[in-house]
Amino acid sequence: MTKIPENIKIRAEKLKKEIERHAHLYHTLDTPEVSDEIFDSLVAELKELLYKYPELSEFGGILERVGGKPLKEFVKVKHQVRQWSFDDVFDFGSLKKWDEKLKNFVKKSGLSDEKIEYCCELKIDGLKIVLTYEKGKLILGATRGDGEVGEDVTNNVKTIRTIPLKLKKEESLVVTGEIWIGKKDLDRINKIRQKSGESLYANTRNLAAGSIRQLDPKVTSSRNLNSFIYDIDLSNGGIPQTQSDELELLEKLGFEINPNFAVFDTLAGVEKFYQSWVKKKPELDYGLDGIVIKINSRKVQETLGYTGKSPRWGVAYKFPAEQVTTIVEDIVLQIGRTGVLTPVAHLRPVNVAGSTVSRATLHNEDEIRRLDVRVGDTIILQKAGDVIPDIVSVVKELRTGKEKKYNFPSRVSQCGGDGRIERIPGQAAWRCVNKNSFEQQKRKFYHFVSKKALDITDMGPRVTNMLLENNLISEYADIFTLKKGDLLSLPRFAEKSADNLLNSIEKAKNTTLPKLIIGLSIPQVGEETAYDLAEHFQTIKNLREATFEKLEQLYGVGPVAAKSIVDFFKSKENKKILDNLLKQISISTPGVEKSESGKLAGRTFVLTGTLPNMSRDEAKTKIRALGGTLSESVSKETDYVVAGDNPGSKYKKAQDLGVRVLSEDELVELISKS
């Protein structure tokens, strides 16, 4: 027998306890503390440990359970048919393994001639419901509970308009489906609860579960619950021989079914269906966390049967998680273009939102203290679309006592010189004392050529490094004096790549004032401040000559940024760099597309989260064009916070301050009216 390392045994035990705790909160109390994705992540880690160390089977019992124990407030009812849950897969490789296992089982069962088809349905993020009808009349609505015993919620179910009280045929049957509530209703109900000082529902699933378990059916009725029915468990009229026919029969009987199902005879078709819904899910009003794949033939389903907790004939193919758990393996400092040191967590690689992530920023020293994140901690990592991965919190229940606190060092070799660092007075940030390290110069150039600044598309980090290392550039103006011969002397630079870069540089010679200000890397001046400065001063000459008093009075600037701007333009070195640059480029005037008399003039917007259809740049351009002002932080002066998916702390601050929160649809409506 393999000796199990003590740290592995401790980890497995802690994972088991944490999974049990969250399962109870989710299934029994309907008050989850974490998303389904985080729960799945913890389960996946425990499964992996059990696979590597079979001797740890004593910790695997929790993985065999379905649902949770019923609450005492409702009458308990025993299900006529046991309720199962599907196993999960998270990528196409795992789906293929499930399929191979399934086909081997079918072959051994003597059904090798049976055609295998896959019925794909959307996996609604709601609450499972079991409905019983006698002679066409609804007599019982029950929650799944622990799979064998649920709760009688019939009176509440009767308030749901899409659940028929009487079927179109007088049949006796048991069906299962999902109770759900729309995203718009979640927003509506949370606004009401916020005004009355009540806690807010975290998501649509949480709200649906809380609504169906109301002791007063009037409350349930006011919530506007909905349903999709997808299976017949029992029927005196017989059950169709395919899952797709079963769905069609349910619709004929009067049930609401989800119309977005399809049958495929290859996994390639299944994968195409899956990928299409990864993209389309933000368009739906209901929550969606994957697709469910069922073998279409009932005959094959019955042959395959069940494991201890799941059907062998079906699987849930989950969408890429936007929240996962992983482990902090190290914390290192990264030098930015202004010399500020950013702590970065090096993570055990993990797949989140469709990509493998191994690093996440910790922002500054105060953020490390706020999170109390340590090397060795298990953390919750969040990433939505193209948004930079963010550490949401630490799972302190999984600590062993061996985790190490992080303290800022006194010296960092990459800062150059003697490597000394200092904390910036009045801020949470640390910076290099030496302002001219090679690392810092690289970062400045990366920023200068980026899309938000001069937008030199063919000058990425690899090319920039090569130009710096070969002394072809040392300041921004040098970029615009590069010749083809300079580039062809560099390794791996051919005629085409040289021409592409020179064309990109030529285009960048005509820029706008906001882009130039962004590109200069003035400390404390972000994208929105750059636009405010460009709008107010109109020319780079006016900005260079601006006094501290004039700058401080500008909205969105403040004393810290004002001093930083004045100090930047006072510097002899910066003056020389800017003078040389201005000889090479031309700046369009005013460079800001903004209407002073626009219908949004005087209103301040903050954008947060991932918008379903518009990019942030598109939204910003439209707001500015109508006279609106954009800010990077939420305050009492903010008029609107435009929130997409995974909005984060800005959304919460808006709620705390009573700032109106807009969805993308509401923003589009506001713009249309304007």
Specify the domain boundaries for CATH 1.10.150.20 within the chain: 438-508, 513-588
pLDDT at 56: 80
Closest by CA position to 267, among listed 84, 44, 102: 102
Ramachandran angles phi, psi of 591, nearest 5°: 85, 5
| C-alpha to C-alpha distance for 564 and 562, rounded to whole angstroms | 5
Token pair, residue 391, equals 């550490």
For 406-450, write each residue's pLDDT tens digit: 999 999 888 888 889 999 888 888 999 888 788 888 899 999 999
Among candidate residues 14, 16, 123, 128, the one labeled active-site is 123
By the 8 A CB rule, do 558 and 549 touch? no
| C-alpha to C-alpha distance for 150 and 129, rounded to whole angstroms | 9
pLDDT at 28: 64
* Superfamily the domain 78-318 falls into: DNA ligase/mRNA capping enzyme (3.30.470.30)
* Encoded amino acid at 583, one letter: K
Over 90: is that where the pLDDT of 502 sits? yes
pLDDT at 576: 92
Token pair, residue 576, equals 């020389």
pLDDT at 501: 94
For 211-269, write each residue's pLDDT tens digit: 888 878 888 888 889 999 999 999 998 999 999 999 999 999 999 999 999 999 999 99
Over 60: is that where the pLDDT of 594 sits? no
pLDDT at 591: 45
User: Band of the pLDDT at 674, cuts 50, 70, 90?
Assistant: low
Over 50: is that where the pLDDT of 460 sits? yes
Q: Mind giving me the DSSP string for 382-410?
A: E--TTSPPEEEEE-GGG--S--B-----S
> What's the Cα-to-Cα distance from 502 to each of 472, 473, 493, 509, 578, rounded to whole Å?
14, 14, 12, 11, 21
3-class state of residue 462 by DSSP: helix
The count of other CB atoms within 10 Å of the CB of residue 64 is: 10
pLDDT at 50: 85
pLDDT at 179: 95
For 615-624, write each residue's pLDDT tens digit: 777 888 888 8
| C-alpha to C-alpha distance for 648 and 633, rounded to whole angstroms | 12
User: Band of the pLDDT at 170, cuts 50, 70, 90?
Assistant: very high
For 601-647, write each residue's pLDDT tens digit: 888 899 988 787 787 778 888 888 888 888 878 888 899 999 887 67
User: Band of the pLDDT at 204, cuts 50, 70, 90?
Assistant: confident
The C-alpha angle 223, 671, 649, rounded to 5 degrees, equals: 60
User: Band of the pLDDT at 329, cuts 50, 70, 90?
Assistant: very high
- Give exposure, 590-628, as e/b (b: 16+ Cβ within 10 Å): bbbebeeebebeebbbbbbbbbbebebeebbebbbbbbb
- Give exposure, 447-473, as e/b (b: 16+ Cβ within 10 Å): bbbbeebbebeebeeebbebbbeeebb
Over 60: is that where the pLDDT of 592 sits? no
> What's the Cα-to-Cα distance from 504 to each of 20, 482, 521, 578, 581, rounded to whole Å?
57, 12, 21, 21, 16
DSSP state of 302: H
User: Band of the pLDDT at 296, cuts 50, 70, 90?
Assistant: very high
3-class state of residue 42 by DSSP: helix
CATH number 1.10.150.20 is the correct assignment for the domain at 438-508 = yes
Sign of the C-alpha dihedral computed for residues 470, 434, 573 and 564 taken in this order: positive
User: Band of the pLDDT at 64, cuts 50, 70, 90?
Assistant: low
pLDDT at 66: 47
Residue range 44-57: mean pLDDT, rounded: 84
pLDDT at 357: 85
The C-alpha angle 501, 502, 507, rounded to 5 degrees, equals: 100
| Residues constituting the chain | 674
User: Band of the pLDDT at 384, cuts 50, 70, 90?
Assistant: low
DSSP state of 483: -
| C-alpha to C-alpha distance for 80 and 89, rounded to whole angstroms | 29
pLDDT above 70 covers what percent of the chain? 94
- Domain boundaries 6-65, CATH class: mainly alpha
Over 80: is that where the pLDDT of 26 sits? no
* Encoded amino acid at 505, one letter: I
CATH of domain 323-413: 2.40.50.140
Specify the domain boundaries for CATH 2.40.50.140 within the chain: 323-413
Active site residue 123: yes
By the 8 A CB rule, do 610 and 384 touch? yes
pLDDT at 421: 92
Specify the domain boundaries for CATH 3.40.50.10190 within the chain: 604-673
* Encoded amino acid at 664, one letter: E
* Superfamily the domain 513-588 falls into: 5' to 3' exonuclease, C-terminal subdomain (1.10.150.20)
Residue range 370-389: mean pLDDT, rounded: 84
Over 70: is that where the pLDDT of 275 sits? yes
For 143-168, write each residue's pLDDT tens digit: 998 889 999 999 999 999 999 999 99
Q: Is the pTM of this model over 0.85?
A: no
| C-alpha to C-alpha distance for 249 and 260, rounded to whole angstroms | 16
Topology (CATH level 3) of domain 604-673: Rossmann fold (3.40.50)
By the 8 A CB rule, do 527 and 519 touch? no
Over 90: is that where the pLDDT of 301 sits? yes
H or E segment at 35? Answer: none
* Encoded amino acid at 219, one letter: V
pLDDT at 326: 94
pLDDT at 627: 83
Specify the domain boundaries for CATH 3.30.470.30 within the chain: 78-318
| C-alpha to C-alpha distance for 513 and 535, rounded to whole angstroms | 9
DSSP state of 321: P
Please return the burial class of 149, using the count of CB atoms within 10 Å of its CB with bins 0-12, 13-18 and 19+: middle
User: Band of the pLDDT at 500, cuts 50, 70, 90?
Assistant: very high
| C-alpha to C-alpha distance for 154 and 139, rounded to whole angstroms | 7
Over 50: is that where the pLDDT of 321 sits? yes
Longest dimension (CA), the chain: 90
pLDDT at 63: 66
By the 8 A CB rule, do 534 and 512 touch? yes
By the 8 A CB rule, do 395 and 324 touch? no
Question: Mean pLDDT of all residues in the chain?
Answer: 87
Tokens 């107010």 belong to 536
